[in-house]
Amino acid sequence: MKSAKRRAPHLPVGEEAAARLRAAHRVVALTGAGVSAESGVPTFRGPEGLWREFRPEDLATPDAFARDPKLVWEWYAWRRERVAGCRPNAAHRALAALDKRAPDFLLATQNVDGLHALAGSRRMVELHGSLWRVRCTGCGHVGGDRSPFAEIPPRCECGALLRPDVVWFGEALPTHILERAFAAAREAEVVLVAGTSSLVYPAAAVPEAALWAGAFVIEVNPEPTPLSAKASLSIRGRAAEVLPMLVGEGAEVFH
Ligand code: BV8
Ligand code: ZN
């Protein structure tokens, strides 16, 4: 039986959120660029999200790649360089701890930076792919590692162009990954949504599906988002500060 969705008004929000997370058997977490902001990874919509004068939406599309694969690869090479110097922060570590603690857990991330895996998250799906993988536009081979490319744009042994193994705007997410995220969301008792502007779909529909199914949804973001009014609890704060308190024994500091 799913725990009551209604708030416990007598409890400070942080303490209630921590209590719900501790009591839940089936937990899902959804993260976005805000969780990696404190590791120095540029967010998409933040001021530092821009590369040269391009908006991410201009470069992260099949059309942009068809038009100018070199330009698009220069952008991804620049992001790989930036992220290579970044380390997981306390938010990533708190989610890795939650993965170890919760009986039934899934982390669905929109981030392509690989920091959740570096922090030790295991039960996880990368909804939008990874900066550290490439896919051949000819033979479909998927591979790649963290070493810089010998040439930009890089090519596959078969001679065809390689592309980043990420989901571009206008492209469908891998069905098995999407289904896993929505199935877990529909079964979850508690869903933790951290560091996302909740603007990009279908990722932003994951907590909505959970709410429909009666889950308790906790949002963590310094700014309000379109999800804030719908969430069971919306906590204003930075992920690296709030998530350790929600997951750790330190919830009492919310007094
Ligand atoms: C698809 C990989 C169809 C690439 C990414 C109109 C309405 C609704 C939807 C659409 C629409 N028009 C088009 C669409 C669909 C589109 C979409 O949703 N567009 C949006 C912009 C409206 N979606 C798609 O195109 C998807 N595909 O629909 O396909 C289809 C279906 C079947 C068959 C064929 C086609 C594909 C979407 C995936 C695109 N790829 N990334 C790459 O990375 O290069 S999306 C990319 O942007 C990220 O992965 C992420 O998802 C998104 C950025 O969002 P966030 O991560 O939330 O980051 P953002 O900067 O926005 O916000 C950061 C937040 O953190 C802020 O709220 C901030 O306050 C907070 N924050 C800051 N600091 C902190 C913090 N929080 C906590 N702690 C802090 N310290
Ligand atoms: Zn190939």
CB 130 within 8 A of CB 80: no
d(CA 144, CA 156): 10
Note the pLDDT of residue 13: 84
d(CA 10, CA 181): 33
Considering 25, 92, 128, 255, which one is annotated as catalytic?
Answer: 128
Between 177 and 250, the more confident residue is 177
Q: What is the pTM of this model?
A: 0.94
Adjacent-strand bridge partners of 216: 190
DSSP-based three-state secondary structure for 91: helix
- Residue 230: CA count within 13 A, CB half-sphere: 17
d(CA 135, CA 237): 37
User: Does the pLDDT value for residue 253 go beyond 50?
Assistant: no
Task: Enter the tokens of residue 83.
Answer: 């992220």
Characterize the bridge pairing of strands 190-194 and 162-166.
unpaired
C-alpha pair distances (Å), 171 with each of 13, 61, 127: 38, 8, 12
d(CA 55, CA 52): 9
Task: Enter the tokens of residue 4.
Answer: 């009551």
Note the pLDDT of residue 248: 81
* Mean pLDDT for the stretch of residues 188-213: 98
User: Does the pLDDT value for residue 56 go beyond 90?
Assistant: no
Ligand 1: nearest atom to the Cα of 164:
44
User: Does the pLDDT value for residue 49 go beyond 80?
Assistant: no
Which of 10-14, 48-52, 127-131 has maximum average pLDDT? 127-131
User: Does the pLDDT value for residue 87 go beyond 50?
Assistant: yes
Q: What percent of the chain has pLDDT over 70?
A: 89
From 13, 21, 15, select the one nearest 215 (Cα to Cα): 21
> Where residue 57 falls among pLDDT bands split at 50, 70, 90?
confident
Note the pLDDT of residue 9: 62
Report the greatest alpha carbon distance in the chain.
Answer: 64
User: Does the pLDDT value for residue 252 go beyond 60?
Assistant: no
User: Does the pLDDT value for residue 106 go beyond 90?
Assistant: yes
Ligand 1: nearest atom to the Cα of 239:
78
- Our answer to whether residue 128 is catalytic in this structure is yes
- 21 Cβ below 6 A of ligand 1: no
